[in-house]
């Protein structure tokens, strides 16, 4: 498929950026073109290694996910209620994504549109951080159906490649009254069902492009994505009690012109 170090680089980028408000799509696009790793098989690899990042969140928050199957008497985000909240958050993006999947692939995967999404997403972060009011929701167990659905509607913004699913859901939750750390943690949990659905749908259509000789390359990317996502999520949560999200906005503003300049479709 390609030299092993490309799998390491792309796996590292996927894991580090998937759950941060910086757009893993923009990073993988830029890295793929700089490394001359492009085409349908490369796109399939980029999709597959997202599973490593998803698994990292499942392992890190295993108590919360296990609680969906075995309700905890002291946790409202568990059992049927927890499943309902995740369903409400996931549903809008699934429906809208299913209806617009072909249009998104055809019209929104270009250097200008992805760079513009990075730019607009950065302004979104700065605007939310600037207008912050006193939060009304301080813990996962305080999240209700209305907030969950509202976050799901904001998650639809992530269907625009480069906008960032994490950025859309975290900022959406903060606008709707969630405290920053709670917004991030719920964003991680809500990522699992929608990413599994999106990744599964794309892999079903493109898995035939891979052969047994690609398995080692995929395995390396998957493992590196898992480890780096684990580290990124742990570090990010630790940062949120001390810092705002403004540095991620400035970073996006710097990345946007690089994607536009170096991405050659």
| pLDDT value for 167 | 95
In the chain, the number of structural domains is 1
The average pLDDT across 195-218 equals 82
pLDDT value of position 222: 94
* Residue 215, pLDDT score: 86
% residues pLDDT > 70 (the chain): 99
Query: Would you place residue 180 in the very low, low, confident or very high pLDDT band (cuts 50, 70, 90)?
Result: very high
Write down the residue that tokens 């309902």 correspond to.
84
pLDDT of residue 134: 85
Q: 104-143: per-residue pLDDT in tens? A: 878 888 888 999 999 999 999 999 999 877 889 999 999 9
Of the pLDDT bands very low, low, confident and very high (cuts 50, 70, 90), residue 169 is very high
pLDDT category of residue 91 using cuts at 50, 70 and 90: very high
Burial annotation 145-183 (CB, 10 A radius, 16+ → b, else e): eebbbbbbbbbbbbbbbbbbbbbbbbbbbbbbbbbbbbb
So what's the pLDDT on residue 29? 85
Q: Is the pLDDT of residue 232 over 70?
A: yes
CA dihedral 168, 67, 49, 224 (to 10 degrees): 110
Is residue 14 within 8 A of residue 53, CB to CB? The reply is yes
- pLDDT for res 1: 61
Mean pLDDT of 219-225: 95
pLDDT in tens, 244-254: 999 999 999 99
- Is residue 162 over pLDDT 80? yes
Domain limits at 210? 4-262
**pLDDT confidence bin for 264, thresholds 50/70/90:** low
Sequence-ordered list of residues with C-beta below 8 angstroms from that of 72, at least 6 positions apart, any chain = 78, 79
């Amino acid at each position: 498929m390609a030299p092993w170090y490309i799998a390491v680089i792309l796996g590292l980028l996927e894991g580090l950026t998937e759950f941060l408000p910086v757009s893993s799509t923009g990073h993988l696009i830029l890295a793929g073109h700089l490394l001359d790793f492009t085409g349908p098989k490369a796109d399939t690899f980029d999709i597959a290694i997202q599973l490593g990042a998803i698994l990292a969140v499942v392992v890190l928050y295993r108590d919360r996910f296990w609680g969906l199957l075995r309700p905890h008497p002291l946790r409202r985000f568990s059992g049927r209620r927890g499943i309902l909240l995740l369903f409400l958050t996931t549903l809008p993006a699934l429906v809208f994504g299913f209806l617009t999947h072909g249009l998104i692939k055809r019209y929104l995967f270009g250097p200008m549109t992805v760079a513009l999404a990075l730019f607009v997403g950065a302004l979104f972060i700065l605007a939310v951080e600037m207008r912050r009011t006193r939060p009304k929701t301080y813990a996962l167990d305080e999240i209700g159906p209305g907030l969950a659905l509202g976050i799901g509607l904001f998650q639809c913004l992530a269907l625009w490649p480069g906008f960032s699913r994490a950025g859309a859901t975290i900022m959406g939750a903060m606008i709707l009254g969630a405290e920053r750390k709670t917004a991030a943690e719920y964003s991680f949990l809500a990522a699992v069902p929608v990413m599994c659905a999106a990744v599964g749908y794309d892999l079903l259509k493109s898995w035939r492009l891979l052969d047994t000789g690609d398995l080692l390359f995929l395995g390396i990317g998957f493992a590196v994505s898992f480890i780096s996502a684990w580290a990124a999520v742990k570090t990010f949560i630790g940062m949120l009690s001390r810092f705002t999200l403004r540095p991620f906005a400035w970073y996006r503003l710097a990345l946007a012109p690089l994607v536009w300049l170096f991405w050659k479709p």
